[in-house]
Structure 1
Amino acid sequence: MLASQRRATILGLVEDSGAVRVSELVEQLGVSDMTVRRDIEQLATEGLVERVHGGALAVGGRSSEEPGFTAKSALMQAQKNSIAMAAAQLVEPGAAIGISAGTTTYEFARAVRTVPDLTVVTNSVPVAQLLHESGAPGQTVVLTGGIRTPSDALVGPVAVAALRMLHVDRLFLGVHGMDARAGLTTPNLVEAETNQALVETARQVCVLADHSKWGTVGLSTIIPLASVDLLVTDPGLGPRAQQALTDAGVEVVLAAPTTARTARNQRSQA
């Protein structure tokens, strides 16, 4: 296959699914990892895709664009895993926590599924399913009702009404984007309202987001940065972003990267 044909194939896959992983392209195209990365870099130079760690993301920058759960799951996997494991250290047996929808929060749910006597309030269908199937003894999962979004979140007035009656110790919130001016954002207006209701249930708000989320602005603001107590992210977050968060009163935790073996072992226990 010629380079132009490979790049056209890669571009088509990105446009169809929203994101692709380098490992998947290597297998599908039958070329080396280095060749795939060069192709992605060329496509990114031409402005056709966004190059991210481990793959490529569809270009759009549209504030209302909402990638699906599967597409987002393929991106920044090592960072998401390390963030999840670091955040899990904050959860003690018997606690009541909230977990919002999202792929990073899904990895967090995987990390806390062995914590006994945990009560989890969530609007995430995958999180509820994961904990239902492999949660520790004594765990209670409260799943809100609502309308299902492309990111597998349950949103809308039914979800908001349910959340207004609940209270948790700490909310672990996933976001589409973080920005010094716009705060935490999402491309879905209704999801923003539901996430605001989740925030109101919690005594402390902990955001789980990798560094690629910084500078991304969705259509609707969930909360300003000043309303966040703690951000667990990865060391890729730049110093200016860290300073902006600190100035807003946010405690920033940089999660140490996990080894590939650790990540594989954790997934094999799911």
Structure 2
Amino acid sequence: MSDNQNLLAEQRRALILEEVRRRGGARVNELTRKLNVSDMTVRRDLDALARQGALEKVHGGAVPVAEASTHEPGFEAKSSLELSAKEDIARTAARMAQPGSAIALSGGTTTFALAQQLLDVPNLTVVTNSVRVADVFHAAQRSAGGLPPGRPGAATVVLTGGVRTPSDSLVGSVADAAIRSLHFDVLFLGVHGISVEAGLSTPNLAEAETNRRFVESARRVVVVADHTKWGTVGLSSFASLDQVDTLVTDGALTAGARAEIEEHLPRLVVAGEPAGDEADGREGPAGDPGTGAGGEG
């Protein structure tokens, strides 16, 4: 199957998911008319979305997943979803990290993909509550011959500590206290769900509190989330959309979702599309150095 056909399938499935969530369910025959595709194509799309846990198949159609707001899949389960989209998002978001800056990476599979793209950005100070993200940087240092983290160009990585969640994030009072005392130039934030009504949300109450601390300590907040996260609402909201500076997502976002996002967020960056200064990694006026490692936000 060609890349164009893959892209069309992702866009079609995003439209199906949007329809199911908006109406509380959809029938196969309704979706075939709306999308102008065959019955078999819609059924294959529903099968794919059901395997991802995005919806539940029922006789003749599909409905939203029951109790989705409280379900938190493990890291391995989430890492197999929307792989190409997460890689595209990671490559785009990595250009927003300035050499020598202090950044934070929350837990999640998209921030895990982003960490791998940040290995070549020199002199970063990285604070994370993700065991997986920290492992990316530590493994890179070991493969470089076991040189100390303080060598020229290497990232300095701070792992917050805390209680481990199913998604391999560290949360709780220890993590919250560590984050509260720090200041970041940019926070790269993965989310379970994002919507106009609920803002940014997660099914884990403790993770919501830790994410609040991240948002409060960051000079700029960049949300990295694939198109399936738009319209999803978790149990606990931890930030409103007006606290987000940039959303980086993928090209399978529907036109309706894109219009809604552009109405409520200062900046939308779609991976693979031109995005002016932001996509080139330039932030603000020339000569603005940011807070830098150890500075104040």
Q: Which category of TM-score, normalised to the shorter sequence, fits these structures?
A: 0.7 to 0.9
Partner-residue secondary structure (3-state), 1:117: coil
1:219-267 Cα distance to aligned partner (Å, 9 max, x none): 000111111000000111122222222222330000019xxxxxxxxxx
1:70-122 Cα distance to aligned partner (Å, 9 max, x none): 00000100000000000011112111100000000100000001211110000
TM-score under structure 1 normalisation?
0.74
Q: Residue type matched to 1:213 in 2? A: K
In the alignment, which residue of structure 1 is the partner of 2:125? 119
* Distance in 2, Cα, partners of 1:210 & 1:105: 11
> Residues 178 and 213 of structure 1 are in contact (CA less than 8 Å); yes or no, is this contact kept in structure 2?
yes
> Residues 41 and 51 of structure 1 are in contact (CA less than 8 Å); yes or no, is this contact kept in structure 2?
no
* Distance in 1, Cα, partners of 2:194 & 2:169: 19
Matched, 1:51 2:77: no
Partner-residue secondary structure (3-state), 1:57: coil
In the alignment, which residue of structure 2 is the partner of 1:21? none
Structure 1 outlier segments of 4+, above 6 Å:
none
1:69 corresponds to which of 67, 75, 78? 75
* Distance in 1, Cα, partners of 2:224 & 2:45: 29
Q: Residue type matched to 1:51 in 2? A: L
Question: Comparing 244-253 with 85-94, which one deviates more in the overlay?
Answer: 244-253
1:120-152 Cα distance to aligned partner (Å, 9 max, x none): 000000000111111584310010011100000
Q: Residue type matched to 1:192 in 2? A: A
Q: Residue type matched to 1:253 in 2? A: V
Q: Residue type matched to 1:76 in 2? A: E
Q: Residue type matched to 2:96 in 1? A: L
* Distance in 1, Cα, partners of 2:180 & 2:52: 39
Change (3 A) 1:108 1:175: same
1:157-197 Cα distance to aligned partner (Å, 9 max, x none): 11000101101100000000111101111000110000010
1:128 corresponds to which of 120, 124, 134? 134
> Residues 225 and 245 of structure 1 are in contact (CA less than 8 Å); yes or no, is this contact kept in structure 2?
no
The within-5 A match list for 1:18-33 is: none
Partner-residue secondary structure (3-state), 2:181: coil
Partner-residue secondary structure (3-state), 2:222: strand
Matched, 1:149 2:149: no
The within-5 A match list for 1:184-263 is: 184-256=200-272
Q: Residue type matched to 1:41 in 2? A: R
1:41 corresponds to which of 22, 40, 43? 43
Q: Residue type matched to 2:225 in 1? A: A
* Distance in 2, Cα, partners of 1:113 & 1:138: 8
* Distance in 2, Cα, partners of 1:108 & 1:83: 8
Larger Rg over CA atoms: 2
Deviation at 1:43, TM superposition (A): 9.3
Change (3 A) 1:94 1:184: same
TM-score under structure 2 normalisation?
0.68
Gaps of 5+ in 1: 1-37, 258-270
2:174 corresponds to which of 158, 166, 170? 158
Output the aligned Cα RMSD.
2.1
* Distance in 2, Cα, partners of 1:133 & 1:40: 42
Identical pairs, percent? 51
Partner-residue secondary structure (3-state), 2:49: strand
* Distance in 2, Cα, partners of 1:92 & 1:115: 7
Partner-residue secondary structure (3-state), 1:51: helix
